[in-house]
Amino acid sequence: MDSAWIVAEAKKLGFDACGIACATALDEESSHVEQWLAEKHEGEMAYLTRNKEKRYDPRLLVEGTKSIISVLYNYFPKQTIGDGEHFKIAKYAYGADYHDVLKNKMRQLLDLIESQTGKLEGTRVFVDSAPVLDRAWAVRCGLGFIGKNTTLIHPKKGSFFFIGHLFLPIELAETGKTLSNHCGHCTKCLDACPTGALESPFHIDARKCISYLTIEYKGSLVGLDHNSFNGWMYGCDICQDVCPYNRFSLPNLEPLFQPSDSLKAMRENDWKNLTKADFDTLFKHSAVQRAGFEGLKRNIEFISED
C-alpha cells in the first residue's frame, strides 16, 4: 500500500498533518517517562503508571500492529471566550469533545484504507484514550518536535492540535523524518508559567500545572495562590499562547469545535452563579465533563476569591 496516498487522503479529510512510522518499542522515550514517574510528577494521574509495557510498545497493546499512522487536527479558535482576564477555558474545550470528533474522522481514513486493502483485522483508533505515548509517535511520524513546554510543536503550524493514531496490521513505508528540537535559546514558556510547573526545559511537574489542578486533581485547592491561576477555570493555554511558533496558528475549520452562542454569552456573574442545569446545557458533549460540575464550581469559587 502506498504511504503517500494515505497521507494525501488524510489531508483531503481535513487533517493538518499525517505521518507513518513502523511499530517498534519506544526505548529512549520510555526511559524519560520512567524518570518522570520516579519523581512522582504525575500527581494523582495513577493511570499513567498502569499498563506501562503496553504504553512503551504498541505491539503489546494491539497484537499484530506493524504500522502506526499519526495525524494532527487543528483546534485553534477564531476568537477566545470571555474577556481574556477571568473564567477562561482552555481552547481545546470550546466545542464538542475532541475524542468523538477526531475518532469519527479517523474512522473515515480507515475506511478509505480498507477500500484499498480489504477488511483489516486488528485495527484500532486511538485518541488520548489508551496507554499510547501520543507525542512520541507524532514525533516518530515526523509531525513535529517536543518543545520546552513539553507540547508537540509543528514548525510551520504551531501546537494547537489534537493527536490521533491508527494502529494497522500491515507494513507501510515510513514518511517524513524525526525532527530535532527547534526551540533554540527561547524560554518564553518557562518564563510565563505562573505556577512554576515548567521547572526546566522539557520537564513539567504536573502537580503545579494549572491544567492538572483544574481538571485531573480532585482535592481541595485551599492553600494555593488563586492569583497565580490567572483566571483559568478549566485548563490553561499560557505556555502555548506565548510560544513563537503559534504565530503560525490559523483558526480551525471544524464546525463541531465552534463554541455555542450560550457559551460565548457567559459573563462573570453567570459563571459565579452556575447551576448544574447550566453546566449540563453548556457542556453536554464537551471535554469539560472530565472536571464535572462540582469540579468546575470548585475552580470558579477558587479563582473568584478576593
Could you give the residue numbers annotated as active site? 128
Alpha-carbon gap, residue 295 to 270, rounded angstroms: 16
In one-letter notation, the amino acid at residue 42 is E
Closest by CA to 240, choosing from 189, 282, 173, 284, is 189
Q: Which residues are bridge partners to 68 per DSSP?
A: 21, 167
Q: How many CB atoms lie within 10 A of CB 80?
A: 15
Taking the CA of residue 145 as centre, how many other CA atoms within 13 Å lie in the half-sphere pointing to its CB?
14
Alpha-carbon gap, residue 111 to 44, rounded angstroms: 38
Please return the burial class of 283, using the count of CB atoms within 10 Å of its CB with bins 0-12, 13-18 and 19+.
buried
Which residue in this structure is represented by grid cell 492538572?
A: 212
Residue 200 phi, psi (nearest 5): -160, 165
Alpha-carbon gap, residue 243 to 184, rounded angstroms: 12
Closest by CA to 240, choosing from 154, 140, 126, 132, is 154
How wide is the angle at C-alpha 149 spanned by C-alphas 103 and 152, nearest 5°?
Answer: 35
Closest by CA to 236, choosing from 176, 172, 174, 150, is 150
Alpha-carbon gap, residue 191 to 34, rounded angstroms: 26
